Amino acid sequence: MKIVVTKDYEELSAKAAKIMLDVVKEDPYAVLGLATGTTPLGLYGHMIKDREKNGTSYAHVRTVNLDEYQGLPRTHAQSYAYFMRKNLFEGLKIDPENTNIENGMAADEEKECARYDALLERLPRDIQLLGLGSNGHVAFNEPGTPFSSGTHVVTLAESTVKDNARLFSDISEVPRKAFTMGIRQIMQAKKILILASGANKADAVFKMVKGEVTEQVPASVLQLHPDCILIADKEAAAKL
């Protein structure tokens, strides 16, 4: 794993944007694996500004997102579909037809997971962006998820529900279940870019980079990826 430590969140976001933009510039038909959470917001802001300034085209780019809460419709302000529209897709003028995310409202879980598995096979990702959960999760693959997993429905760890409660008006509103891309599929991306910011990620960063590769720390699997870059600000990298 290549590790880049930045002085602050702004530098992290700018460096991450450079990597994403290089992928899009090299191949206007690139498939981007995208992530939600607060960490990529700075990166997304840079991509939008770049498009406004330099006219980078996203007309042919396709996107695949990692995960979605179960039970939230696409119109719900906390759904990941809504998050992506408001924080990236509208700004990049990406045709919604070219974006993909699990359907949190799917009545048949198994069918929805199979649909997403097939879609991921059809759309090999040139890059997969990841955030890092404070318990070492990636996407919604919680500790204990088999490294061989495909798309599945998870029950969120109590720590994840607590971490994500800040975005809801009350913790009771945080969905307890979610659809997520599996670890095996994350590892299939040609390149992986994982971002970590802030002191509350320092333990997870340490375990991901320096710890044993174990299903108890899902992000530790990234040590095995041939082209993975971690960009961490100095608070998140403090224990390395």
- Annotated catalytic residues are 67, 135, 137, 142
Which region, judged by CB under 6 A, interacts with ligand GLP, from 7-15, 90-98, 131-139, 220-228? Answer: 131-139
Q: What is the DSSP string of 52-116?
A: HHH----SS-EEEESEEETT--TTSTTSHHHHHIIIIIHHHT--GGGEE---TT-S-HHHHHHHH
Residues touching ligand GLP: how many (CB under 6 A)?
Answer: 14
Report the residue number, 34 or 48, with the smaller CB distance to ligand GLP: 34
To 10 degrees, what angle do helices 9-26 and 41-54 make?
50
**Residue 37 in the binding site for ligand GLP (CB under 6 A):** yes
Asked if residue 35 binds ligand GLP (CB under 6 A), the reply is: yes
Closest by CA position to 88, among listed 166, 24, 154, 26: 24
Closest CB to ligand GLP among 38 and 103? Answer: 38
Region of 7-15, 32-40, 110-118, 181-189 interacting with ligand GLP (CB under 6 A): 32-40
Q: How far apart are CA 106 and CA 104, in angstroms?
A: 6
Tell me whether residue 53 or residue 163 sits nearer to ligand GLP (CB atom).
163
Instruction: Report how far residue 145's alpha carbon sits from residue 216's, in angstroms, rounded to the nearest whole number.
Output: 8
Among 13, 39, 100, 185, binds ligand GLP (CB under 6 A): 39
Nearer to ligand GLP, 18 or 162 (CB): 162
Contact flag: residue 67 with ligand GLP (CB under 6 A):
yes
Find the DSSP H helices in the chain.
Answer: 9-26, 41-54, 80-84, 90-92, 109-122, 158-164, 183-187, 202-210
Question: Does 192 participate in binding ligand GLP (rule CB under 6 A)?
Answer: no
* Binding footprint of ligand GLP on the chain (CB under 6 A): 35-39, 66-67, 131-133, 139-140, 160, 164
